[in-house]
C-alpha cells in the first residue's frame, strides 16, 4: 500500500497557459470529443505495466483492471514484476476496499474528491480512477464544464473553487492532461491510439511534482464495451 499512498498524496499544482489560442469551433469539437469518448464507453478491460517511484524507491509492476460505468464498479489487481501480489482495489458503487496484500492490511472508504479512506489515505474519485485506467480524460461533471479563455483550458468549478482542469496539447488537438487542484494530482496522456473509434493513450503518467513521486503506466491492451460478469466484483 505504501506505493499507492506515495502517489495519492497532496501537493499544489499550477496550470500553464496553452501555447496557442484555440478557435471557438475547435473548442466545441474538443468538448464534443470528451463527451463522445465518455458516453460511448460503458465498460473496459485494461492490462499493462506500471512503475511507481519517488526519491527512495522504484516499484515495477503489472496490472489488470476491469470496470463498468453503470453501475460504477472497478476492480484492479497489481502484481510486482517479481511475481508477488501487491494491491487489490475494488470499487462497488461508492464503496472502496483496498487490500494491501504485501503488508496484509485492508482499508475501507467512500469515493469522493473531498473525502478520505480509513482516515489515512487521500481521496479517490471515480473520474480519477476511470481516467487513469481507461487511459483518457474523464470530466468530473459535464454540467459544470466550461472553457477558460485566459488559461486556454477546460475547467470544472464548484462554488467558485476549481475542482478539475483539462488542458489540451500544444497543438490544441487533444485534451492531454487532467489536473485535480484539491489533490495536487496531474495526469498526462500520450501515445494516442484508437480502438473501434474510442481513443486511448498508450502511456499515462500520474505525478506529484512537489512530492517528487510518479506513477508511469504503459497500456498493453484495452478492450471496450465487453459484457462483464458482475460476479467479478464480489
CATH of the domain at 20: 2.50.20.10
What pLDDT, on a 0 to 100 scale, did the predictor assign at position 19? 52
Band (1; pLDDT cuts 50, 70, 90): very low
What pLDDT, on a 0 to 100 scale, did the predictor assign at position 174? 87
What pLDDT, on a 0 to 100 scale, did the predictor assign at position 30? 94
What digits encode the pLDDT tens for the residues 131-173? 999 999 999 999 999 999 888 899 999 888 999 999 988 777 8
Nearest to 65 by CA among 180, 204, 232: 232
d(CA 87, CA 98): 7
Mean per-residue pLDDT for 49-71? 94
The answer to whether residue 11 scores a pLDDT higher than 50 is no
Region at 212 (left for phi over 0; alpha for psi -120 to 50; beta for the rest): left
Burial class (CB in 10 A: 0-12, 13-18, 19+), 148: middle
Domain count for the chain? 1
Q: Does 234 map to a domain?
A: no
Q: Does 117 map to a domain?
A: yes
Mean per-residue pLDDT for 43-65? 94
One DSSP character per residue, the chain reads -HHHHHHS----------SSPPPHHHHHHHHHHHHHHHHH-SEEEEEEEEEEE-SS-EEEEEEEEEEETTTTEEEEEEEETTS-EEEEEEEETTEEEEEETTTTEEEEEE--TT--BTTTBPP--HHHHHHHHHTS---S-GGGEEEETTTTEEEEEETTEEEEEEE--TTSSS--EEEETTTTEEEEEEEEEEETTEEEEEEEEEEEGGGTEEEEEEEEEEEES----GGGG-
d(CA 189, CA 208): 15
Q: Does 18 map to a domain?
A: yes
What pLDDT, on a 0 to 100 scale, did the predictor assign at position 172? 75
What pLDDT, on a 0 to 100 scale, did the predictor assign at position 17? 43
d(CA 213, CA 39): 32
Cell 489536473 maps to which residue?
179
Q: Does 233 map to a domain?
A: no
The answer to whether residue 4 scores a pLDDT higher than 70 is no
Mean per-residue pLDDT for 107-111? 84
55 vs 46, which has greater pLDDT?
Answer: 46
What pLDDT, on a 0 to 100 scale, did the predictor assign at position 118? 52
Band (9; pLDDT cuts 50, 70, 90): very low
Average of per-residue pLDDT values in the chain: 86
Q: Does 231 map to a domain?
A: no
What pLDDT, on a 0 to 100 scale, did the predictor assign at position 105? 92
What pLDDT, on a 0 to 100 scale, did the predictor assign at position 12? 39
Report CA torsion sign: 72, 111, 206, 139.
Answer: positive
Answer whether 97's CB lies under 8 Å from 90's CB: yes
The answer to which of 1-10, 99-108, 144-153 has the lowest mean pLDDT is 1-10
Domain with 77, as residue range(s), is 2-222
What digits encode the pLDDT tens for the residues 169-205? 877 788 999 999 888 889 999 999 999 999 999 999 9
Q: Does 232 map to a domain?
A: no
Q: Does 149 map to a domain?
A: yes
Number of other residues whose CB lies within 10 A of the CB of residue 66? 21
d(CA 170, CA 176): 9
What pLDDT, on a 0 to 100 scale, did the predictor assign at position 147? 95
d(CA 231, CA 222): 20
pTM: 0.86
d(CA 40, CA 196): 11
Cell 468549478 maps to which residue?
157
40 vs 212, which has greater pLDDT?
Answer: 40
Q: Does 192 map to a domain?
A: yes
What pLDDT, on a 0 to 100 scale, did the predictor assign at position 6? 41
Amino acid at each position: 500500500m505504501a506505493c499507492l499512498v506515495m502517489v495519492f498524496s497532496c501537493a499544489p499544482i499550477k496550470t500553464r497557459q496553452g501555447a496557442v489560442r484555440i478557435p471557438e469551433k475547435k473548442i466545441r469539437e474538443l468538448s464534443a470529443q470528451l463527451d463522445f469518448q465518455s458516453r460511448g464507453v460503458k465498460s473496459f478491460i485494461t492490462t499493462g505495466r506500471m512503475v511507481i517511484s519517488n526519491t527512495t524507491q522504484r516499484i515495477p509492476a503489472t496490472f489488470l483492471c476491469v470496470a463498468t460505468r453503470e453501475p460504477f464498479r472497478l476492480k484492479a489487481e497489481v502484481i510486482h514484476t517479481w511475481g508477488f501480489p501487491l494491491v487489490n482495489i475494488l470499487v462497488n458503487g461508492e464503496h472502496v476496499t483496498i487490500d494491501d496484500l504485501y503488508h496484509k492490511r485492508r482499508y475501507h472508504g467512500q469515493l469522493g474528491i473531498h473525502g478520505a479512506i480509513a482516515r489515512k489515505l487521500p481521496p479517490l474519485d471515480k473520474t480519477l480512477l476511470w481516467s487513469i485506467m481507461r487511459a483518457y480524460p474523464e470530466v468530473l461533471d459535464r454540467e459544470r464544464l466550461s472553457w477558460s479563455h485566459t488559461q486556454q483550458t477546460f475547467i470544472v468549478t464548484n462554488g467558485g473553487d476549481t475542482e478539475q482542469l483539462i488542458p489540451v496539447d500544444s497543438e490544441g488537438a487533444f485534451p492531454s492532461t487532467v489536473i485535480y487542484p484539491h489533490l495536487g494530482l496531474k495526469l498526462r496522456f500520450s501515445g494516442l491510439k484508437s480502438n473501434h473509434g474510442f481513443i486511448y493513450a498508450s502511456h499515462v503518467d500520474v505525478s506529484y511534482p512537489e512530492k517528487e513521486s510518479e506513477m508511469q503506466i504503459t497500456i498493453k491492451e484495452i478492450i471496450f464495451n465487453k459484457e462483464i460478469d458482475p460476479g467479478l466484483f464480489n
